[in-house]
A and B are shown apart, each in its own frame.
Chain A
Amino acid sequence: MSAARWSIVALVVLTVVSFAVGFAWLPSEHGDFTAKGLWDTICRAAGVPQKWSAGAPAAATRSTRVVLDASMQRPQAQDAIGRGATLALNCTMCHGPRGLSQANAPNLAGQYPEVIIKQLMDYRGGDRASSIMQALAANLSDANIRDLAAYYTYLPRPRNAPVTDMSIVPALVRVGDPMHNVAPCAACHGGIERKPGAPWLEGMPKEYLVEQLAAFAAGKRHNDSHGQMRNMARNLTPQQIEEVALFYARHGEGEEGR
């Protein structure tokens, strides 16, 4: 046999044998591969998707029903902003005429659109607790919510100078607390990266931030899907919460002087 033919035969034999071992012999040792016969075993070994577990879910404790979608982040048309402005007249008592609140309600000016959309939908669906907000959100349609988000996004944020002196930024914001499974705040909330759904925090009222972190830590607030914030807040010490809230609240100091 010529060398070429010998090489080809050798390669074919090698391939066939390894396929036989990989697709028939090895999977045959595992019950969950072989349950339905040889062809099925081969398909499973090849990577055809199957269901591998009959894990019956318990009644799911729901955190939120909102699916964050790229379309929520896209800028809306001008008339959406106008409609949102009209709807927002109902909100000025707590959230301020220009989205900057005088009370402990969160500032909405310049907030990311998908954040506002998600929180309003959660209030409407009862996944985030607040007697006032749930009542107010109950009457909002999806279109209303998107218009409100468009309006608030368009409002200018509280003026704040960029941080140049790293020493005033708390460690938690810069580097997190790794051994307690706390990522840097700036990795999701902006400064380093921003994760869709994570709100802009600069200039938020301090009491509001402390309150929300405590609510996450206790599990009382649970509209963060899969506990993204609860997993963080639960591992924070009270000092860390104070430090972080103070930093974000002060960071937004501008004309408002808060």
Chain B
Amino acid sequence: MLAHFWLAFVAFAGAIVLGEWQMYVRSPLHAWLDNPEHYYRSVTVHGVVMAYVLPTLVAMGLGYALSELALKRPLVGLRWAWAGFWLVLVGTAMAAAAMASGHASVLYTFYPPMIASPFFYLGIVLVVVGSWIWVALMSINLRAWRKENPGAAVPLAMFGNVAGAYLWAWTSIGAAIEILVLILPVALGFKDTIDAGLARVFFSWTLHAIVYFWLMPTYIAFYTLVPRAIGGRLYSDTMGRVAFVLFLVFSMPIGIHHLFADPQIGAGFKFVHAAMTAMVSVPTLLTVFTIVASVEIAGRMRGGKGAFGWIRALPWENPMMLAVAFSFVMLGFGGAGGLINMSYQLNESVHNTQWVTGHFHLIFGGAIVIMYFMIAYELWPQLTACAPLPAGPIRAQLWLWFAGMMVLTMPWHYVGILGMPRRMAYFDFTAPALQAQAWTVTASAVGGAMLVVSALVFVYVLATAEPFTFSLPAHPVGRVPALLNGYALWVSMMIALTVVNYGFPIAQLAALKETSVPAIPMGLR
């Protein structure tokens, strides 16, 4: 687990420096780059690390930790777990080499017909395969525990953990098919043409639910770490389970909302995916209620009175309290932005503008990653048994992250509404049409700098506190209904919805021969 976290955070530190460099060179503070390809290379590395390497490793490391701590038994399949880790490490190195050499400047979305070096794709494949080993181990460990504890309620942390694992296994299939079936034959030179529309559909299969895979560690932390850490109780164990199963069903078959502006999908499927995306906001809204209620319990247990007095009574000097408050503020803004993106027609105004970039940095880099920090801080004592960590630097780090994220993303959202397009290496801010947009990029660059400092503080300040225990639910968990103790129904629904929502578009596009277009290799050969 330590290996997973260290690899994740080292890569994170590197990628965040690159991210800030990108912001800086794109802003009015810096002259144009000599070679725009360097910018796109950096964007590719930043994206691949932040989207594929960091969250996968955090989820895997946390998963193994939860498997042992929640189920109170040693991990079955330790050697396999190490094999998975090495696959992720080798895959990351391979992709990094391809990117660093300039042969893979295709961004982390790698949309064909642009084709990069096969090593780039193989690297990503290895990372995903390593994570599949983790998925299998989570399932195996849960099954072993169930055999020893027939009929018992699965501890909530493990329940969420395994739900996340199943979700990831199913959702990663989309990009896996895209890479293995469509892209690699072209990258390796066996084929010259590729269906760009079909590739985007497969990628969209993965693209939305992957963010829920990223989100699982954070939500697990909300439900099972936060209440205990701030001295309260979890308001409702059942609600937590409901939220996790709703994610399992609705996260994945909604990916076409990333393709609202695409010409290869019909209007009918676009609408259906939009409506179902509305459904996936439900578990978040439920979570907000449950966690705020749990926090309120903590406040009242500390003597807070009245409708809002409990807020003041909360343990604000506790870093976990700060983190969850910051996370919820960012979740509020980011979630609202997400609702706008999901709204079929409103999406037209913001598609592929910097609004989108602002949105996902806020919700993922902000709300989710801030809890990754807390997960690391919480687990570190368990993993390393080192000296206690002073809460002061942690609080400072969290404040810096929150403030930096707000300064980074708020101007970003605004300039997106003005229309600024994504993924451009430089802008001519002297042109009259663009002058009004210049300050936002400078502001974002300042925000980014704050984030870099915060990230470096995080990496240095990883220490330990008291022994680790999970949160107690407010009302003791008696009998958990079977539906909220297992996955069979929810996984079946997930698969069924996938078939209904994606089956026809994929089959239809795959059958079209005339849409296979010439591949365009990237990078000087």
Contacts and interface: CB of A to CB of B under 8 A. Distances in A.
Contact of A47 (B35, B269, B481): B269
A3 B33 CA distance: 60
Given A48-B508, A49-B512, A178 B267 contact: no
A46 B497 contact: no
B266 A47 contact: yes
Given A19-B272, A179-B428, A7 B483 contact: yes
Contacts of B36: 175, 184, 187, 192
Interface stretch (A8-16, A199-207, A235-243): A8-16
Nearest to B509: A47
A101 B271 CA distance: 62
A151 interface: no
Given A46-B508, A175-B32, A175-B34, A33 B267 contact: yes
A4 B508 contact: no
Interface string A46-71: 11110000000000000000000110
A47 B493 contact: no
B266 A194 contact: no
A70 B266 contact: no
A22 B268 contact: yes
B489 A4 contact: yes
B307 interface: no
Contact of A193 (B37, B427, B481): B37
Q: Which of B34, B192, B522 has the most CB of A within 10 A?
A: B34
Contacts of A179: 428, 431
Interface in B255-273: 264-272
B295 interface: no
A179 B249 CA distance: 47
Nearest to B279: A14
Given A47-B264, A48-B266, A190-B524, A18 B34 contact: no
B504 interface: yes
A156 B265 CA distance: 49
A250 interface: no
Contacts of A44: 266-267
Contact of B266 (A4, A15, A46, A175): A46
A193 B269 CA distance: 37
B483 A22 contact: no
A26 B275 contact: no
B500 interface: yes
Contacts of A219: none
Nearest to B270: A22
Nearest to A166: B34
A234 interface: no
B269 A22 contact: yes
Interface string B471-497: 000000000010100000100010001
A214 interface: no
A193 B504 CA distance: 37
A23 interface: yes
Contacts of A33: 267
A129 interface: no
A70 B192 CA distance: 7
Interface in B414-436: 426-428, 431
B32 A42 contact: no
A241 to B, nearest CB: 20
Contacts of A192: 35-37, 524
B523 interface: yes
Contacts of A70: 192, 518
A47 B483 contact: no
B276 interface: yes
A126 interface: no
Contact of A22 (B271, B497, B520, B522): B271
A193 B116 CA distance: 12
B268 A19 contact: yes
A134 B93 CA distance: 53
Nearest to B37: A192
Interface string A11-38: 1001100110111001100000100000
21 contacts: A14-B276, A15-B497, A18-B271, A18-B275, A22-B267, A22-B268, A26-B267, A26-B268, A27-B267, A45-B267, A45-B268, A46-B269, A47-B268, A47-B505, A47-B508, A69-B518, A174-B35, A178-B426, A179-B431, A192-B36, A195-B520
Interface of A: 3-4, 7-8, 11, 14-15, 18-19, 21-23, 26-27, 33, 42, 44-49, 69-70, 166, 169, 174-175, 178-179, 184, 186-187, 190, 192-195
